[in-house]
Amino acid sequence: MPHVAPLCPAGHLPHKGGDQPAGYSSPISDVGRKAITSKLLISPLVGEMSGRTEGGNVGRILLQLIALFAALFLALTPAHAQSVEELVRQLPEGSYSDRGKIVAQLAATGDVRLVPLLEALAAGELNVVEETGQVVTTAPSGDTVRLTDALTAETAGEASKGAVVRIRVNNSLRRAVRAAIGQLTLMSDSAATRRSAAEAMFNAAEPDNLALLDEALAQEEHAGVRRTMEQARAASILKTDASAEQIAEAVDTISARGDRAALGILTAMLGQADDDVRPAIQEGIKAIEAHLALLDVGQNVWYGISLGSVLLLAAIGLAITFGVMGVINMAHGEMVMIGAYTTFVVQNIVRTSFPGLFEWTLAFALPVAFLVTALIGIAIERGIIRWLYGRPLETLLATWGLSLIIQQAVRSIFGASNREVGNPTWMSGSFDFYGIAMTWNRFWIVVFALAVFAILLVVMKRTALGLQMRAVTQNRRMASSMGIRTPWVDALTFGLGSGIAGLAGVALSQIDNVSPNLGQGYIIDSFMVVVFGGVGNLWGTLVGALTLGVVNKFLEPYAGAVLAKILVLVFIILFIQKRPRGLFALKGRAVEA
Amino acid sequence: MIEKMGSTRRLLGAAALAAMLAQAGPAVAQDETIKVGILHSLSGTMAISETTLKDVMLMLVEEQNKKGGLLGKQLEPVVVDIASDWPLAAEKARELIEVNKVDAVFGCWTSVCRKSVLPVFEELNSLLFYPVQYEGEESQRNVFYTGASPNQQAIPAVDYLMNEEGVERWVLAGTDYVYPQTTNKILEAYLKDKGVAAEDIMINYTPFGHSDWQTIVSDIKNFGSSGKKTAVVSTINGDANVPFYRELGNQGIAAEDIPVVAFSVGEEELAGLDTAPLVGHLAAWNYFMSVDTPENASFIETWHAFIGNEDRVTNDPMEAHYIGFNMWAAAVEKAQSTEADAVIDAIVGVEVPNLTGGTAVMLANHHVTKPVLIGEIQDDGQFDVVWETEGLVPGDAWSDYLPESAVLEADWTDPVNCGNYNTETKSCGGSM
């Protein structure tokens, strides 16, 4: 008998008794199935007879012969299987594993009408009309729901909401459905669908799939899809008692794939493989692992850059208020938090008033968040900080108190719980970059952080405001005597720093939770970056943020997240001992002032 | 003052506040009302979870007063804010008991809060009802643990994954503090007991509020690609969950491949999340808002009316307060007294209905019986119960899977009267 993997999902439990005819006599692929059933069952016999002929095997051979005849007999019996319609009607009944079995039987019918039905089932959108037992999808219309027959896609009238019950799915049922959709769409017209079907079969490899895969391979012309199908076929062969050559061949195909999934299949295979194929498997594993080790380095660098860009975003506003102005602003994190809440408010307005523009929420949120936080920043500077220049301890305490006030104010206005800020679709999911998995939201945040940095650099170096800012920082009295309104520049500088913190808040709302505590998590890191990079130097902040990000990410796999953070702190403390002014120290008289 | 009490919730709250601020006030009201202390964080990090519990307590007190109060007296809530600051929690607890003369206190969320107020309750001999699932390994005469102990949440969840999902490889991921560490220690011992090899268990801790999950999620992905079915048992706390689930979704880990079962993610936490990428991930609790019983329906209805917002969810710790409060009320009626000693004697064996259609019984070890439910996250932020224990599970103070605590029992009834009775040496005082 074909070997059945010990760990197949509930939907793929071996078909027992009465289930079998339905599963094995589908009109579509009878011929292919018959052919492969005999091939499969005979080949191990040949292998064993030529290889080993211990007496103990006779019983097994006999059993296999009986199984062979049974399979042939079943394949030849006329279809007295349950119709697709009957099976679909049974779907709402029974336990999750019963439903899994029905899904497997449905897949075996090869009826492509089932694909949308199964997709709806996996998405939890399939309902059953309680009275008639009809399986439908529903669309709300007023107080009632419009029904559509899930199988025929014909409208089936309307019903009250209470009259339909959702067909519940759990994880094992979802797995069964995914595998079933794979089986049903393997012959689809679209290459992408065929490929994802083959991928699904690769992940849920089963000896039963071989017939279907052979059939599909015979007519497949697209090279990429062919490769995936061959991999799926190889994975299925490994689940059978195939001969050593066949296994070796399959192992080759799978190790050529070179990813984690392939490694998983081979590792699982290693435990139960015969001695003669084991070296081949071990070699395959070794090759994949070498390849992955290389990728891991790249992956870690990427994670480091991504963490660094988040640090950069959080710290860059502080680099202005603390770095350029020398104000220890403990309320900086709260500016980030307000930026994130602004995004939440903007998104809510867009959701309710202009739902079509949802994808553009962030574009609207950016200027709004900048303005809101910049104005708050200017108000703070004019109201509190300007009275405290030259008194760092008082500034620290005042802004710390302010941060608590802002937090509690936000908590009172928006509530203590997290607020949901949705990801636009272009910021969800991940893509593959030469084998390195990159998530879109992290990717865009890296781009955004660098863009903010570049713009800030231009503002500081190329605009009148930037010139005045630098002049005031370098020599306040001289600047003042040159006619620069230094208090005005102070306010604007602080506003700019706060505004940029607001921009960071928009970005962070996409990866962190929007809660009153959002800012607290970033304030220490931000100071760390600015001090490490060198106070008063924007480039230092960039290099500092990226260095700390990458170092942290290289330490994390070995030391764990907690220890990595501590190690980074220790490293900074030691570094500051050696170079008190950070990586890029400012030179000149301003430093002494 | 009594007429004011009965009128509206706002007045009640104001009265409580007045009583709190003007400390001369209580002297007048002392004899006419029974005071209930509410000790939760209304500001700071934990406000996210605890504010709701304060509200639910105010609601329960109001409901009880509508029914005529207790022993013919009205109840008066006294709310204090511990501001997520644990030394302050001990001070506030002392203030509640000594200055405000409350008869029972309902409060705390974190284990560190409970641990820091414990000595106060012991010293002043008062009552604390603690409503949150915790790591166990404790039983104190003055404390009633109405949340789940590990055998009422963690162990059944692992059983479910092992038996129903066929999981063979385990990631125990948690925030770095006492609850996850102790729970993971118990789970590790339990898994090894069940024959899981050491290399099939990966334990990972992260700091509070961890937001960069890239490395850990990709580690989980790698750990899960060994050909054995893998699951994550998550004791990740609070805010760190949102970026964790987001990263899972973005890196394409679906619940069908590597399910995550969480012990700290409930309806309230999901309210701040886009749940679409989380569908199918699991949580183990003793109560879900989606449970379809008449008791639950009326509880939700009362809650919505009280809070004035139809969108507010209910969660497990709220049910724990519901059970705890009703047990206390029943014990006070039974003892005909609010004296701590009388209530402690009376409350063991008290039976009150829970919201999932069963009953909660206060056990001699000051834990309660609970059903264990496993729910899958749905796209509407609710849980769909996919499995539940047959019958109720009694709370176990000392885990049977840790060698040092396996021999310990807690029993606060005569003749044992001990929180850490060693069954081998037949003496009180633990294994030490």
Which residues, numbered 25 to 44 in chain B, qualify as contacts with chain A under a Cβ-Cβ cut-off of 8 Å?
Answer: 42-43
pLDDT at position A574 over 80: yes
Q: Domain of residue B192: give its range.
A: 151-291+373-394
pLDDT digits (tens, 9 = 90+) for A376-392: 999 999 999 989 888 88
CB burial class (10 A; 0-12, 13-18, 19+) of residue A227?
middle
Q: Pick from A513, A522, A525, A548 the residue to mutate for testing the B interface (most B CBs within 10 Å).
A: A513
CA quadruple A81, A87, A90, A91: dihedral positive or negative?
A: positive
Distance CA B186, CA B150 (A): 8
Q: Residue B399: inside a domain, yes or no? A: no
Coil, strand or helix: which one is A411? Answer: helix
Per-residue pLDDT, B31:
57
Task: Please indicate whether, in this complex, the C-beta atoms of A562 and B206 are within 8 angstroms of each other.
Answer: yes
pLDDT at B240: 81
Would the pLDDT of B316 be above 60? yes
Q: What are phi and psi of B278, to 5 degrees?
A: -100, -10
Contact by Cβ (8 Å): A44, A242 = yes
Lowest-confidence range among A94-103, A202-211, A292-301, B423-432? B423-432
User: Does B432 reside within a domain?
Assistant: no
Q: How far is CA A134 from the centre of its chain?
A: 36
Distance from CA of B285 to the nearest CA of A (A): 17
Same domain, B233 and B326: no
Rounded to the nearest integer, the mean pLDDT of chain A is 81
Q: Does A424 touch chain B (CB under 8 A)?
A: no
Tokens of B130: 């603690």
Judged by CB atoms within 8 Å, which residues 134-173 of B form the interface with A?
Answer: 164-166, 168
Helices (H) and strands (E) in chain B, counts: 15, 19
- Looking at residue B44, its pLDDT comes to 78
Containing structural domain, residue A409: 295-592
**Helix A486-508 to helix A278-318 angle, to the nearest 10 degrees?**
150
| Residue A189 dihedral angles phi and psi, to the nearest 5° | -75, -30
Cα distance from B286 to chain A (closest Cα, Å)? 19
Instruction: Tell me the C-alpha distance between A319 and A494, whole Å.
Output: 11
Give the CATH number of the domain where residue B28 resides. Answer: 3.40.50.2300
Q: Tell me how far apart the alpha carbons of residues B221 and B259 are, in angstroms, rounded to a whole number.
A: 11
What does the pLDDT look like over A2-34, one tens digit per residue? 444 443 343 343 333 333 333 333 444 444 444
Two structure tokens written together for A140:
């709300």
**Total residue length of chain B:** 432
Would A556 be classed as within a structural domain? yes
Give helix B154-164 / helix B178-193 axis angle, nearest 10°.
40
Most A CBs within 10 A among B109, B205, B212, hence the mutation to make, goes to B212
My answer on whether B74 and B96 are in the same domain is: yes
Q: For A303, which residue in chain B has the nearest alpha carbon?
A: B214
Query: Which of A513, A520, A553 minimises the CB distance to B215?
Result: A553
What confidence score (pLDDT) does residue B342 get? 94
pLDDT on residue A61:
63
Looking at residue A24, what is its pLDDT?
38
Domain end, chosen from B336, B354, B369, is at B369
Domain count of the fold of chain B: 2
Is B85 found in the same domain as B195?
Answer: no
Please check whether residue A93 lies inside any domain of the structure.
no
B389 within domain boundaries: yes
**Whole-structure pTM value:** 0.77
For residue range B240-284, what is the model confidence (pLDDT) as tens digits? 887 888 888 888 888 888 999 999 888 988 886 778 778 889 999
Any A CB within 8 A of B272 CB? yes
On whether residue B429 sits in a domain, the answer given is no
Confidence of residue B93 (pLDDT cuts 50, 70, 90): very high
Write down the pLDDT at residue B230: 92
Task: Answer with the residue of higher pLDDT: B303 or A62.
Answer: B303
DSSP B199: G
Percent of chain B with pLDDT over 70: 92
Same domain, B251 and B309: no
DSSP-derived letter for residue B285 is E
Which chain B residue lies closest to A409 (C-alpha atoms)?
Answer: B43
Q: Is the pLDDT of residue A140 over 60?
A: yes
Q: Is B201 inside any structural domain?
A: yes
B132 with B172, same domain: the answer is no
Task: Write down the pLDDT at residue A66.
Answer: 63
Q: What is the pLDDT of residue A416?
A: 77
Can you tell me which residue has the tokens 């801790």?
B205
Judgement on whether residues B282 and B320 belong to the same structural domain of the protein: no
B133 and B118, same domain (yes or no): yes
What's the average model confidence in pLDDT over A251-262? 82
* CB A327 within 8 Å of CB A494: yes
Residue A535 has pLDDT above 90, yes or no: no
Q: Is residue A120 part of a domain?
A: no
Assess whether pLDDT exceeds 90 at residue B49. Answer: no
User: Looking at the structure, do residues B263 and B329 belong to the same domain, yes or no?
Assistant: no
Q: Do A513 and B242 touch (CB under 8 A)?
A: yes
Q: Tell me whether residues A417 and B207 touch, CB distance under 8 A.
A: no
| Residue ranges of B 185-214 with Cβ closer than 8 A to chain A | 204-207, 209-212, 214
Closest Cα in chain A, distance from residue B399 (Å) = 27
Query: CA B223 to CA A198: how far, in whole Å?
Result: 24
Which residue of B51, B225, B247 is in closest CB contact with A260?
B225
A439 shares contact with chain B (CB less than 8 Å): yes
Please tell me whether residues B313 and B245 are part of one structural domain.
Answer: no
Q: What is the pLDDT of residue A586?
A: 66
Domain count, chain A: 1
What ipTM score was computed for the predicted complex, to two decimals? 0.73
Q: How many CB atoms lie within 10 A of CB B88?
A: 17
Q: In angstroms, rounded to a whole number, what is the distance separating the alpha carbons of residues A254 and A234?
A: 7
Do B88 and B25 lie in a common domain?
Answer: yes
Q: Do B165 and A268 touch (CB under 8 A)?
A: no
- The band of A64, judged by pLDDT with boundaries at 50, 70 and 90, is low
**Residue from B290, B285, B280, B289 nearest B165 by CA:** B280
Closest CA to B285 of B191, B374, B383: B374
Query: Which run of H or E residues covers position A455?
Result: helix A440-462
pLDDT tens track for B159-184: 999 988 889 999 999 998 888 999 99
Cis peptide before B180 (omega within 30 of 0): no
CA distances (Å), B180 to each of A587, B139, B284, in order?
49, 18, 15
**A403 alpha carbon, distance to own chain's centre:** 33
Which residue in the set A418, A429, A516 is minimally distant from B242, CB to CB? Answer: A418
In chain A, the percentage of residues whose pLDDT exceeds 70 is: 85
> Tokens representing B290?
């989606």
Sequence-distant (≥ 6) Cβ neighbours of residue A150 within 8 angstroms: A88, A116, A117, A120, A126, A135, A136, A137
Q: How crowded is residue A192: how many other Cβ atoms within 10 Å of its Cβ?
A: 11
Which of B52, B47, B9, B40 has its CA nearest to residue B312? B52
Q: Specify if B46 maps to a domain.
A: yes
Which one-letter amino acid corresponds to residue A484?
A: I
Say yes or no: B242 and B383 in one domain: yes
By Cβ distance, the residue of B166, B211, B252 closest to A521 is B211
- pLDDT per residue over A426-452, tens digit each? 888 888 888 788 889 899 999 999 999
The CATH number for A514's domain is 1.10.3470
Q: Is residue A449 in some structural domain?
A: yes
Domain annotation covers residue B193: yes
Residue B292 in contact with partner chain A when CB distance is under 8 A = no
Amino acid at A401: G
pLDDT of A367 above 60: yes
Taking Cα atoms as reference points, which of A299, A319, A313, A298 lies closest to residue A546?
A313
**Does one domain contain both B85 and B223?**
no
Cα A27 to Cα A21, A22, A24, A34, A80: the distances in Å are 12, 11, 9, 12, 11
Closest chain A residue to the Cα of B255, Cα to Cα: A171
The reply to whether residue B212 touches residue A310, judged by beta carbons under 8 angstroms, is yes
The verdict on residue B222 lying in a domain is yes
